[in-house]
Amino acid sequence: MSDPNHMSAMEAMMWHIESDPWLAPNGGGITIYDRPLDWDLYRRSIAYAVSRVPRLRQRVAGGMAPISTPRWVPDHEFDLDWHLRRISAPGDGSLRGLLDYFTPWMQDGFDRTRPLWNYLVVDGLADGRGAVLTKMHHTIADGEAVMEMIKSYTSFEPDAAPPPEVDLDAIIDAEPVEDVGAMATARDALGQGLKLQGELARRALRGVATVASSSGRTKAAGDAADLARTTTDQMHPAGSTLWAKRSRRRRAEVLSLDFERVHDASHQLGGSINDFFLTGAVEAATRYHQAAGHAPERFHVTFVVNTRAEGEQALNAFSPVPIELPAAPMRMRDRFSRVHELVATRRGEVHGAGPLSTLATVANLIPTSILTSVAREQSAHIDFATSNLPGFPVDSWVAGAKTLHSYPFGPPAGTAFNLTMLSMGPCLDVGLHLDPAAIDDPELLVSLLEDAYADLIDEARRG
């Protein structure tokens, strides 16, 4: 069992590579409500969430790298009002104004002496609605774990009782003060270092045993195969020369789909909602290139696999999996079938914690400057990244306001764009977080995504 007071190897890798702003692993979102939130009730709700999730009130203390991972320690100067703030709607109060405000805010780095999250409650949108902007460092949790956190301050009926009041000061005062003495630090480093070296040794021995054994495939063999395959896949050149340029600039766009229509279309076409999501993305990318007079053979894409074992409560348990998807024009039904087949094959090749976890154990022994250089080079081989998050299948309310849309945004991290989908009530909300140096016509890409998804639904209706 992992030590909850220390980052996992994968979390530590995300912590280290963010020294290069191109690779910042922050995730976030924009949630739109039917009215402004009740500020006092919302503040009470977030305080309750903080009381239930230790990482929301913990800061990061460095280990004695490279042999120990950073630690999670109580922030005895925790100030809820630093992390949770209230603003008037920026610009003209429109969704576009909100997106333009959100984008640079997402890029702002965290104060590393405090817990790694921020929420902004927005009042005064032009249509009388309310909003919340969220930003969270990926070392705290992945998208699935974040949705579990959100449940702690979300109700599924309009008149639900508010969460209990909590005394955060008392909770934090009761937490142990970190032992920062030299001997304690040395003990921590030695213990973590021995644990890491032991893990590397065990993996090596298991690998040797696997080679010598004829009894079949072991977990170690699966881990090794994952790592070798992922490393090879990442070295393939990206499929798009049109999207080869990269920068630190960002732009956010959104679109929404009807959940029931997408669910029914996916079933009719013989696959999953994730197959539908990926198929539409590839079709839109193909049409974007056609409009520019380009014809790539393939797109080098990543999709995310949840690597939690059944019942596991890990806050980060995912692996991005690279996949090559054909970019040639084809019938929508044929593209869906091909995506379904390729994704199923790649998903079946992921073992245990996945290739990212295996890679991270070794990567954390590399000097940070080299690690970020390699990571940036690898991300340049990816055309775009995708992620599909399970949300709430029913209507939901927060602090007296009904949730209308919840647009998620994953980090582009050196790719041309990140496309993330979240199911929320009757909607599938999609956030597009893109690099305008690569995507020079964002409005066209959004329009093509909407058209591709609409065409998939029509294709399914035709049978």
Q: 159 or 179: whose pLDDT is higher?
A: 159
Angle at 244 between CA 304 and CA 321, to 5 degrees: 15
Provide the pLDDT for residue 225.
47
pLDDT band at 412 (very low <50, low <70, confident <90, very high): very high
Whether 306 shows a pLDDT value over 70: the answer reads yes
Read off the pLDDT of residues 288-304 as tens digits, 9 standing for 90 and up: 999 999 999 999 999 99
Look at 105-114, 165-174, 313-322 and tell me which has the smallest mean pLDDT: 313-322
Provide the pLDDT for residue 350.
87
232 burial (CB, 10 Å; 0-12 / 13-18 / 19+) is: exposed
Average pLDDT, the chain: 86
Read off the pLDDT of residues 22-73 as tens digits, 9 standing for 90 and up: 788 889 999 999 999 999 999 999 999 999 999 999 999 986 545 678 999 9
The CA distance from 380 to 354, in Å, is 21
Look at 47-51, 223-227, 376-380, 405-409 and tell me which has the smallest mean pLDDT: 223-227
Is the dihedral angle over the CA atoms 368, 372, 378, 379 positive or is it negative?
A: positive
pLDDT band at 96 (very low <50, low <70, confident <90, very high): very high
Full set of structural domains in the chain with CATH: 220-391+411-462 (3.30.559.30)
Provide the pLDDT for residue 236.
59
Please compute the mean of the pLDDT values over residues 140-145 and round it to a whole number: 89
Provide the pLDDT for residue 217.
43
Angle between helices 273-291 and 332-348 (to 10 degrees): 120
